[in-house]
Structure 1
């Protein structure tokens, strides 16, 4: 029996330092029936020549360059070009274990989503994942209510049946949280059967400049995503969104309370009291 075709969609923008390693991890998969569609989102570095090298080496790689429009446009382009029964999204700096596709397909019977665990890669060091994907049941409610609070599943961990995606696309007008909205669409518009593989089969790369967003930018990204959800989904999802905002406020208030307690404890230390006495003298 012929193996099921998997479409791997890689969005790439100026990732010349990581793209070769990413594509190599695809090329050495023990599961061999795949196509890898590299969508170059207008890179100005050496990404194109790296991708074209792999296209020449292996016909399963397909390279498409588009005008810069952001990762959502790149992924949507990849969806349109894909021909596989299953879809895996990667970024051009991700790495997948050699058994990622094989383990996923072996665990896909009667399932339409297969999720594997992941680990972080930062400055050449392997770190524990920023989120425990086994902590809560994977459901629409938890995806809406707990996302980026104490629950998150990077899109790179997930193998989707293409039929689930249908007409669903990434929201190209959103600058952030597009993965979150995509997840909500997938779960709210389909009957989902999930298999979770608790093996770290993906390395998710974290960049120092990727975690330095200013507070205002993060706030606006959250607000835009919240407004989109409120305006486009039913009451069940709106209720979960309201609970998420309450949970965020609760956590923020608790953090502020803990900070106040710490400052009070610090003020009561002998060293700090002595410092304040000296300060008055001078």
Structure 2
């Protein structure tokens, strides 16, 4: 049984998937399996994976009719066997030291359910552009991160390694609702387990036009976020959060809606933020901007 399972959902990933597989094969730590689910691709994704699988018994290919990345990831996890899990997208890469470093951390630190590191943000050719820790310097935190992660995701999914028992206890992805899958998952893990963020860079994240964060429309992205907000509101630990944190929680969604021009939704969440924490001055500023814009439109 492998120590680590890397699970991948792939759809029409032929331009990138060999690069991803090679990044796994180049790991210093060798006790791993790579489980790839081809989610109904119509390009050469399966053929490329099959060639690698024929040469390396640690690589497994599963195929299904197109059902979406969330279901494909769940299938990959259900077929995996490792004690530790890495979720990797077909268009990204992990660096050679990642598995060795993070297996060592989880083995030595049983109080942590998740360890995660830094990530290079790259262009479509994988030229390194910026470190995640430089762009979001306040995101890399350790310990009980629940209050922080309910405001938004903290790290690239493949920069992390999570214990299998954590996923078995909270579930991986909800197949019934449209949500920001990574954020929803990490929030549920953070409700019950501690995280450890280390400074070492372990992943590369590719930005390109076909990625879901680019191709999904603004309306769908807002719907996904609002659905996660609704799920978080039902979590037991959410009820016990300080009112200031709840205010920031609703302000973050208001700002997201405002950014994409959904003014009605933005106003709704600004008001909720103010109601929860009247000293949240940023929410008042957001409301003023929306009211001014509404008046201009009327005039």
Compute the TM-score of the two structures, normalised by the length of structure 1: 0.79
In 2: Cα distance, 1:142 partner to 1:33 partner = 33
- Shifted more, 209-218 versus 21-30: the winner is 209-218
RMSD, aligned CA? 2.6
In 2: Cα distance, 1:246 partner to 1:45 partner = 42
Alignment of 1:94-243 (within 5 A): 94-108=92-106, 109-111=108-110, 112-124=113-125, 125-128=127-130, 129=132, 131-132=136-137, 134-137=139-142, 139-144=145-150, 146-147=151-152, 152-167=154-169, 168-188=171-191, 190-192=192-194, 194-209=195-210, 210-211=213-214, 213-234=216-237, 235-236=239-240, 240-243=245-248
In 2: Cα distance, 1:223 partner to 1:238 partner = 21
Q: CA contact under 8 A between 2:50 and 2:61: conserved in structure 1?
A: yes
In 1: Cα distance, 2:183 partner to 2:57 partner = 33
Q: CA contact under 8 A between 1:174 and 1:225: conserved in structure 2?
A: no
Deviation at 1:153, TM superposition (A): 1.2
In 1: Cα distance, 2:88 partner to 2:203 partner = 10
Segments ≥4 residues shifted beyond 6 Å: none
Deviation at 1:253, TM superposition (A): 4.1
Partner of 1:75: 73
In 1: Cα distance, 2:32 partner to 2:2 partner = 8
Between 1 and 2, higher relative CO (CA 8 Å, sep ≥ 6) is seen in 1
- Structure 1 residues 127 and 93: CA distance shift in structure 2, 3 A: same
Deviation at 1:39, TM superposition (A): 1.1
Deviation at 1:137, TM superposition (A): 4.5
Could you report, residue by residue, the CA deviation over 1:70-124 in whole angstroms, capped at 9, with x for unpaired residues? 1111111112111111000001011111111111122221243221110112132
Q: CA contact under 8 A between 1:131 and 1:153: conserved in structure 2?
A: no
Deviation at 1:169, TM superposition (A): 2.3
Q: CA contact under 8 A between 1:230 and 1:238: conserved in structure 2?
A: no
Structure 2, unpaired ranges of 5+: 256-269, 271-281, 293-299
Please say if 1:22 is aligned against 2:20.
yes
Other structure's SS at 1:91 match: coil
Corresponding pairs, count: 250
Other structure's SS at 2:161 match: strand
Q: CA contact under 8 A between 2:141 and 2:197: conserved in structure 1?
A: no
Q: CA contact under 8 A between 1:229 and 1:238: conserved in structure 2?
A: no
- Structure 1 residues 110 and 49: CA distance shift in structure 2, 3 A: same
Rg bigger for which structure? 1
In 2: Cα distance, 1:16 partner to 1:4 partner = 27
Partner of 2:274: none
Other structure's SS at 2:178 match: coil
Deviation at 1:196, TM superposition (A): 2.2
Structure 1, unpaired ranges of 5+: 261-282
Deviation at 1:214, TM superposition (A): 3.9
Deviation at 1:254, TM superposition (A): 5.5
